[in-house]
């Protein structure tokens, strides 16, 4: 009989857990329903593929000398690209900031915000994009163009302590690695469907589903109350994230 997972894994242990069990199984499936050129995209990623994205992003953060005690503002739609930047942040020991307060680096899919000044990463959501749609100055990294040039492996040089910050919520509350909010449990091995309204909700669903050894299907930008039953049926979803 399947049982709920009582407690999520620490964020930095999520991908190693999946890689040790079934690295090739689909773990994150993303439907993009946002208005714009990416509408209609579907992408599915295994733990092995996600690990490469996370390692590349972690190397970028390390180049900015970010580690324990640093904050990375994640101003990205609740999309699969937000997931690897969040995991990369936790991998280097830094904290994900979901509010708009001062941070050491801004990672965003909002071009005006990325170009507003200061170190930033401009994320392009389109899966096949090879460069941003705007000119990017020297102090802004073009995720679509530059991330691929970074190594597929990463080794942290400094381990965070349990008391180091891990998350700054949208209302400015700071949580350490030992005090991260615990998302609700899901059934072990579940294929979970979610329509996250915020990146924080997305990260909760990721932590819960992957800690349970399952997978996550997300719809980004779907209309409130949209009937997604046919999509969830096609994806063999077993549990709805609410």
Which residue, among 170, 159, 161, has the nearest Cα to 202 in the 3D structure? Answer: 170
Q: Report DSSP state, residue 113.
A: H
- pLDDT, residue 225, reads 78
Hey, what's the torsion of the CAs at 30, 32, 38, 41, to 10 degrees? Answer: 50
Residue 4 domain flag: no
Determine the Cα–Cα distance for residues 209 and 219; give it in Å rounded to an integer: 15
CA distance 12 to 19: 12
CB 40 within 8 A of CB 226: no
State how far the Cα of 195 lies from the Cα of 78, in Å rounded to an integer.
9
DSSP-derived 3-state class of residue 62: helix
Write the CB contacts of 236 (distance below 8 Å, at least 6 apart in sequence): 191
Residue 6 lies in a domain: no
Is residue 195 domain-resident? yes
Contact 32, 38 (CB under 8 A): yes
User: For the chain, what is the domain count?
Assistant: 1
Q: Which of 145, 14, 141, 138 shows the shortest CA–CA distance to 66?
A: 141
For residues 133 and 234, the answer to whether their CB atoms sit within 8 Å is no
| pLDDT given at position 77 | 96
Could you give the 3-state DSSP secondary structure of residue 183?
A: coil
Give residue 45's pLDDT. Answer: 98
Q: What is the DSSP letter of 147?
A: G
What is the pLDDT at residue 1?
Answer: 47
Digitized pLDDT (tens) for each residue of the chain, 242 residues in all:
455 555 789 998 999 999 999 999 999 999 999 988 899 999 999 999 999 999 999 999 999 999 999 999 999 999 999 999 999 999 999 999 999 999 999 999 999 999 998 899 999 999 999 999 999 999 999 999 999 999 999 998 888 999 999 999 999 999 999 999 999 999 999 999 999 999 999 999 999 999 999 999 999 999 877 899 999 999 999 999 98
* H or E element, residue 199: helix 199-211
Please answer whether residues 96 and 160 qualify as being in contact, where contact means their C-beta atoms are separated by less than 8 angstroms. Answer: no
**Domain presence at residue 5:** no
Q: Token digits for 223?
A: 């209309």
Dist CA 200 CA 59 (whole Å): 23
- Check if the beta carbon of residue 50 is closer than 8 Å to that of residue 152: no
- Which 8-state DSSP code applies to residue 223? P
Q: What is the CATH number of the domain that holds 21?
A: 3.40.50.12780
- Whether residue 139 lies inside any domain: the answer is yes
Query: Which pLDDT score, from 0 to 100, does residue 4 have?
Result: 52
Q: Is residue 41 part of a domain?
A: yes
Q: Tell me what pLDDT residue 100 has.
A: 96
Is 102 contained in some domain?
Answer: yes
pTM of the model: 0.95
Residue 3 maps to a domain = no
> Which structural domain, as residue segments, surrounds residue 32?
11-240
């Amino acid at each position: 009989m399947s049982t709920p997972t009582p407690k999520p894994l620490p964020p930095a242990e999520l991908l190693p857990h999946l890689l040790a069990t079934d690295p090739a199984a689909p773990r994150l499936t993303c439907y993009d329903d946002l208005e714009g050129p990416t509408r209609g995209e579907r992408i599915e990623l295994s733990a092995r593929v996600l690990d490469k994205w996370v390692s590349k992003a972690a190397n970028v953060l390390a180049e900015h000398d970010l580690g324990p005690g640093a904050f990375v503002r994640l101003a990205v739609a609740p999309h699969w690209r937000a997931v690897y930047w969040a995991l990369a942040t936790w991998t280097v020991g830094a904290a994900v900031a979901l509010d708009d307060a001062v941070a050491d680096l801004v990672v965003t899919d909002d071009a005006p915000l990325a170009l507003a000044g200061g170190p930033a990463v401009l994320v392009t959501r389109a899966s096949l994009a090879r460069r941003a749609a705007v000119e990017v100055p020297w102090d802004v990294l073009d995720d679509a163009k530059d991330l691929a040039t970074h190594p597929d492996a990463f080794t942290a040089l400094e381990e965070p302590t349990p008391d180091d910050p891990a998350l700054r919520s949208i209302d400015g509350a700071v949580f350490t690695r030992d005090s991260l909010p615990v998302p609700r449990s899901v059934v072990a091995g579940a294929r979970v469907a979610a329509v996250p309204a915020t990146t924080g909700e997305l990260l909760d669903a990721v932590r819960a589903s992957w800690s349970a050894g399952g997978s996550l299907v997300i719809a980004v930008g779907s209309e409130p109350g949209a009937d997604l039953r046919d999509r969830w049926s096609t994806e063999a979803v077993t549990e709805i994230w609410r």
